[in-house]
Amino acid sequence: MTARDTHFKCLNCGHEYDGVYDPDKVTERTCPQCRSNSVRRLPEKKATAKK
Amino acid sequence: MMDVGRHPKVELMTFSEVESITGFVGNFNVRVRQKARYVDASECTICAECAEVCPVAIPDAYQQGFSSRKAIYLPFPQAVPSAYVLDMENCLGNNPIACGKCAEVCEKKCIDYDDQDKFVDLEVGVIIAATGMDVYDPTAYDEYGYTRYENVITSMEFERLICAGGPTDGHFIRPSDRKAPQSIGFIQCVGSRSRDGRGNPYCSNICCMNTVKDTLLLCDHYPGIATKVFYMDIRAFGKGFEDLYMRSREEGVRYIRGIPGTVVENPENGNLVLTVENTTTGQLEEHELEMLVLSQGVIPRRDGDQIKHLLTLSTTSDGFIMESHPKLKPVDAPTKGVFIAGCMESPKDVKDSVTQAGAAAARASILLNAGKTRIEAITSQINSELCNFCGICAKVCPYNAILAPDRKAKKAPIIIQAACAGCGACAAECPQDAIGMRHFTNDQIMAQVDAILAVEPQKHLVTFACNWCSYAGGDNAGTARLQYPTSCRLIRTMCSGRVDEKFIMRAFRMGAPMVLVSGCHFADCHYISAVRWTQKRMDRIWSKLDRLGIRDDRLRLEWISAAEGQKFAKVMRELEDKVKSVTKEEIEFTMKVLAEEEAKAQEKKAKRQLEVTVL
Ligand SMILES: [Zn+2]
């Protein structure tokens, strides 16, 4: 599996943003807006639909 | 190194690489590749006749490329073993038409072109890793002109130029015209304490004192040489270091507080003109120097990933190897029986490296002398009857403590109890519920969930907190008298990686308005990488909640360290408001949906058990 662009959503403030997700190099997620760690990686299908 | 080489109880394996490490504390199996030297080290008398006739000349890496070496060479004067080695990649070969000259002249006949790599298998009880570091490559700092100007060199190159065993026999000359420079500058923090992305954010620890030492060397050997040091801060905190720094100033070395913005070469004389803001005076200054030394920082080894993988180690955010505990176990790796020393842990000088190596050796000998070790009481255990041999447990174990199952032979995985640290990630990830923990069992955790939600569940925030960080963060908030809502109820697990989907679902099923999972920051994880599985699992559970029509933001995740009492209190206060926003209808709907899900799951489980019994 390789790194790919993914859509993230903060469950604390609702902020959504794009980022890179690499299943082999999982890094700590922090919402750039509110600093919460409740950042969900949206499933690919959903992310594409949102774009 | 010579002492180590001669020590009767130390077997030094040079020119060798560790290929694989398996096993666990007390029973490690290490496979070492001894690379072919093509020269019999026990016979070689370093007469140097082979090198004299060798027609190949390539840059000598040991001398930082300032001189050349032959294809057959002595790596450096004090090399152990003291014997030549043949660099086969650059050798022309032994075909008489091509070459073969070295073998012809070797009186001892110790050159063997057909030499092969050998593999050695070792059984060891403990491992000390001291793989060192690399130096920062300053080419990214284009304004210093390292790649453009010959007279801009790095501190490593300076070492070779001033060394009596160096390419110039210790005569310090500048590369462009081979004349002794009359003025020299040092730029500190090249690649260290950098926030612009070109260097590293950390302080490299050794560069300040290395430069102070270099200036004193110059003063001793070349009195009258004008030396200037451009710096941000001089960090001279070690024993006797401040004295050394003061001596350097007294010898006339000028310390200028400011990092040059540009370096331009004067094409006529090869001198370098530096423009710098002297932050002490606030003036913009120009300095013309004959030579410039970039005091390059240190970085983790470039092949560090390989070492990490071999020893199942993890790194801190700066890329250096993480210790088991920064204060209480600074030389223990998180993997039992593995110890670390030197710059692989963080940048440090010789004295600190020797101190750390001594400590690591002492820690290792405690284990070896005892001959036995205490193992964790909280380890996982497998119910092989429930196992479907998927192997997920072996994949998630940060300690490689689980021997993968054999699907064909229907052999369940085996948990090496001595290697298991009890994070519980395997138990949480097992899709068959075939793994349980000794202590912090599923039943115990479920009972806590039930107890918290037995009365007025809609008012409670169920929080799973890991033992080492978040739970301690809660303690920290308490001892600091920070106010946070009483609605928060904590359930302690050893690691957030232990928090199983079914614990969370049980909480929602019992009427919890919100659930929080909290654990260590990734760099602080007590269980190497177990916390990473928590994040992955949360994504999965959020998707499941979505599918069931339950709001995903009712399940939260926060990384709270033991020192972050304030964050703990802040998160609790914020979530208190969210708890209040969850409606009664929402909670009832959630309970109903999850009750149905539970019924379905139980039906499925009963069916499976029946199948197993029939089989
Ligand atoms: Zn946010």
Cα(B332)–Cα(B359) distance, rounded to whole angstroms?
10
| Per-residue exposure over B143-177, b if at least 16 CB sit within 10 Å of its own CB, e if not | ebbbeebebbbbbebbbbbbeeebbbeeebebbbe
B244-253, B313-322, B543-552: which has the minimum mean pLDDT? B313-322
Predicted local confidence at residue A1, as pLDDT: 54
Residue A29 located in a structural domain:
yes
Cα(B479)–Cα(B496) distance, rounded to whole angstroms?
23
Contacts of residue B290, defined as CB under 8 A and 6 or more positions apart, other chains included, come to: B151, B174, B181, B182, B183, B184, B270, B271, B272
Q: Which CATH architecture has domain B440-615?
A: 3-Layer(aba) Sandwich (3.40)
pLDDT digits (tens, 9 = 90+) for B74-122: 999 889 999 999 999 999 887 777 798 999 999 999 999 999 999 999 9
In chain B, what residues touch A27 (CB-CB under 8 Å)? 522
In chain A, what residues touch B535 (CB-CB under 8 Å)? 26, 28-29
pLDDT digits (tens, 9 = 90+) for B122-137: 999 999 999 999 999 9
Cα(B307)–Cα(B109) distance, rounded to whole angstroms?
37
Q: Is the pLDDT of residue B376 over 90?
A: no
Q: What is the DSSP letter of B254?
A: E
Q: Between B324 and B457, whose confidence is greater?
A: B457
Residue A19 located in a structural domain:
yes
CATH (domain of A18): 2.20.28
- Give the closest residue to B290 by CA, choosing from B383, B151, B142: B151
Cα(B226)–Cα(B494) distance, rounded to whole angstroms?
60
Average pLDDT over residues B521-540: 91
CB atoms within 10 A of CB B490: 17
- The CATH number for B134-299, chosen from 3.20.20.80, 3.50.50.60, 3.20.20.70, 3.90.550.10, is 3.50.50.60
Give Cα separations from B52 to B62, B65, B86, B274, B376 (angstroms): 19, 19, 13, 44, 60
Whether residue B532 lies within 8 A of chain A, CB to CB, comes out as yes
> How many helices and strands (H and E) does chain A possess?
1, 3
Q: Ligand 1 centre from B82 Cα, in Å? A: 62
Phi, psi angles (nearest 5°) of residue B170: 90, 0
The DSSP annotation for B157-220 comes to HHHHHH-TTSTTTT----TTT-PPPSEEEEEEEETSS--SSSS-SS--SSHHHHHHHHHHHHHH
Q: Ligand 1 centre from A16 Cα, in Å? A: 8
Domain that holds residue A24: 4-43
CA Rg, chain B, in Å? 31
Q: Is the pLDDT of residue B313 over 50?
A: yes
Residue A16 located in a structural domain:
yes
Question: Do the Cβ atoms of B130 and B36 come closer than 8 Å?
Answer: no
Q: Is the pLDDT of residue B443 over 90?
A: yes
Predicted local confidence at residue B325, as pLDDT: 82
In chain B, what residues touch A16 (CB-CB under 8 Å)? none
pLDDT digits (tens, 9 = 90+) for B378-402: 999 999 988 999 999 999 999 889 9
Q: Is the pLDDT of residue B197 over 80?
A: yes
Cα(B531)–Cα(B519) distance, rounded to whole angstroms?
7
Judged on CB neighbours under 10 Å (0-12, 13-18, 19+), A1 is: exposed
Q: Is the pLDDT of residue B305 over 90?
A: no
Q: Which CATH architecture has domain B376-436?
A: 2-Layer Sandwich (3.30)
Helix (H, G, I), strand (E, B) or coil at B548: helix
CA Rg, chain A, in Å? 11
Average pLDDT over residues A3-7: 84
Cα(A8)–Cα(B550) distance, rounded to whole angstroms?
19
The residue assigned the tokens 């290792």 is B364
Cα(B489)–Cα(A2) distance, rounded to whole angstroms?
39
The residue assigned the tokens 């490593």 is B156
Predicted local confidence at residue A50, as pLDDT: 46
Relative to beta strand B133-135, strand B298-300 is antiparallel
Predicted local confidence at residue B152, as pLDDT: 97
Helix (H, G, I), strand (E, B) or coil at B53: helix
Backbone CA torsion sign across B34, B37, B38, B41: negative
Average pLDDT over residues B208-233: 96
- In chain B, domain spans: 13-129, 134-299, 376-436, 440-615
pLDDT digits (tens, 9 = 90+) for A14-51: 999 999 888 878 889 999 999 999 999 998 755 445 44
Nearest by CB: A28 against B522, B542, B555: B522
Residue type, B21: I
Question: How far apart are the CA of B414 and the nearest CA of chain A, in angstroms?
Answer: 25
Q: What is the DSSP letter of A49?
A: H
Predicted local confidence at residue B173, as pLDDT: 93
- Percentage of chain B with pLDDT > 90? 82
Residue A36 located in a structural domain:
yes
The residue assigned the tokens 């395997």 is B426
Predicted local confidence at residue B551, as pLDDT: 95
The residue assigned the tokens 């403990």 is B126
Residue A51 located in a structural domain:
no
Residue A48 located in a structural domain:
no
Judged on CB neighbours under 10 Å (0-12, 13-18, 19+), B230 is: buried
Nearest residue of chain A to residue B556 (CA atoms):
A38
Cα(B105)–Cα(B107) distance, rounded to whole angstroms?
6
How many domains is chain A partitioned into structurally?
A: 1
Q: Ligand 1 centre from A30 Cα, in Å? A: 8
Cα(B42)–Cα(B84) distance, rounded to whole angstroms?
10
Confidence check on the interface: ipTM exceeds 0.85, yes or no: yes
pLDDT digits (tens, 9 = 90+) for B451-474: 999 999 999 999 999 999 999 999
Cα(B156)–Cα(B298) distance, rounded to whole angstroms?
11
Predicted local confidence at residue A48, as pLDDT: 47
Question: Do the Cβ atoms of B152 and B263 come closer than 8 Å?
Answer: yes
Q: Rounded to a whole number, what is the distance in angstroms from the first to the last CA of chain A?
A: 23
Predicted local confidence at residue B151, as pLDDT: 96
Predicted local confidence at residue A51, as pLDDT: 42
Altogether, the residues listed in chain A come to a count of: 51
The model's confidence at residue B555, banded by pLDDT at 50, 70 and 90, is very high
Predicted local confidence at residue A45, as pLDDT: 59
Q: Is the pLDDT of residue B49 over 50?
A: yes
In chain A, what residues touch B539 (CB-CB under 8 Å)? 40-41
Cα(B428)–Cα(B447) distance, rounded to whole angstroms?
17
pLDDT digits (tens, 9 = 90+) for B141-170: 999 999 999 999 999 999 999 999 899 998
Q: Which of A1, A8, A11, A42 to mutate to test the interface with B (most CBs of B within 10 A)?
A: A11
Cα B26 to chain centroid distance, Å, stands at 23
